[in-house]
Amino acid sequence: MRYEGRVFRPPSEAYSLIVQVTVGCSHNKCTFCDMYKEKRFHLRKLEDVLEDFNIARRQYRYIERVFLADGDALIRKTEDLAA
Ligand code: SF4
């Protein structure tokens, strides 16, 4: 898998495939949080995201769950998320 910078996930997603659909956090202003301070927020190209899924498909026999990273992954268009 290809990741830009550090990647975070909740403990409940320990066994999930982590796929970055965004990089950084669209808000990135919470004073208690430094997770994405070094990143400038942007959406990854859909082609790159889909390529990551194809890489994972070749590397892993079975994937039960997928976690979409980074911060604010649901900011993406519904069509992108559906793809
Ligand atoms: S990841 Fe969450 S807690 Fe951290 S800056 Fe963004 S909105 Fe705030």
* Higher per-residue pLDDT: 1 or 64: 64
**Is 5 among the domain residues?**
no
pLDDT at 1 over 90: no
Supply the pLDDT for residue 80.
95
Give 24-71 pLDDT, tens digit per residue: 999 999 999 999 999 999 999 999 999 999 999 999 999 999 999 999
Question: Which atom of ligand 1 is closest in space to residue 32's alpha carbon?
Answer: 3
Q: Average pLDDT for residues 4-27, to the nearest whole number? A: 96
Q: Is residue 81 part of a domain?
A: no
Residue 25 lies in a domain: yes
Reduce the secondary structure of the chain to three states and give it as a string.
CCCCCCCCCCHHHCCCEEEECEECCCCCCCCCCCCCCCCCCEECCHHHHHHHHHHHHHHCCCCCCEEEECCCHHHCCHHHHHC
**Nearest-CA residue for atom 7 of ligand 1:** 27
Q: What was the pLDDT predicted at 37?
A: 95
Name residue, tokens 């070094």: 38
- Residue 32 sits in which domain range? 11-76
User: What pLDDT is stored for residue 25 in this prediction?
Assistant: 96
What is the reported pLDDT for 62? 95
Q: 19 lies in a domain?
A: yes
- Does position 14 have pLDDT exceeding 90, yes or no? yes
* Most informative mutation of 8, 23, 33, 72 for ligand 1 (most atoms within 8 A of CB): 33
Query: 46 in a domain, yes or no?
Result: yes
Please count the helices (runs of H) and the strands (runs of E) in the chain.
Answer: 2, 4
How many domains, in total, are found in the chain?
1
